[in-house]
């Protein structure tokens, strides 16, 4: 009974190990394939940090939301 359990454990671990190896191979191949089409779509522009004037606008929106919630 213990021998069958060990065989089943080793078989399960082997299947998981093979699956992970196949997953790594497929991921690497798909990365190479996708990199060919990288020039078709433009890259996103870096986002700018919000200015200090926008923070005061947010304060006004918060105050308005509180007034609406209380009223």
pTM of the entire predicted model:
0.50
Average confidence (pLDDT) over 51-68: 77
Average confidence (pLDDT) over 18-43: 88
**What integer best gives the mean pLDDT of the chain?**
86
Torsion of CA 17, 20, 24, 30, to 10 degrees: 140
Average confidence (pLDDT) over 33-58: 72
């Amino acid at each position: 009974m213990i021998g069958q359990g060990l065989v089943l454990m080793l078989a399960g671990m082997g299947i998981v190990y093979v699956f992970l190896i196949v997953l790594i191979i497929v991921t690497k191949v798909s990365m190479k394939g996708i990199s060919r089409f990288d020039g078709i779509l433009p890259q996103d522009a870096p986002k700018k940090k919000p200015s200090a004037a926008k923070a005061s606008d947010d304060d006004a929106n918060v105050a308005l939301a509180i007034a609406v919630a209380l009223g």
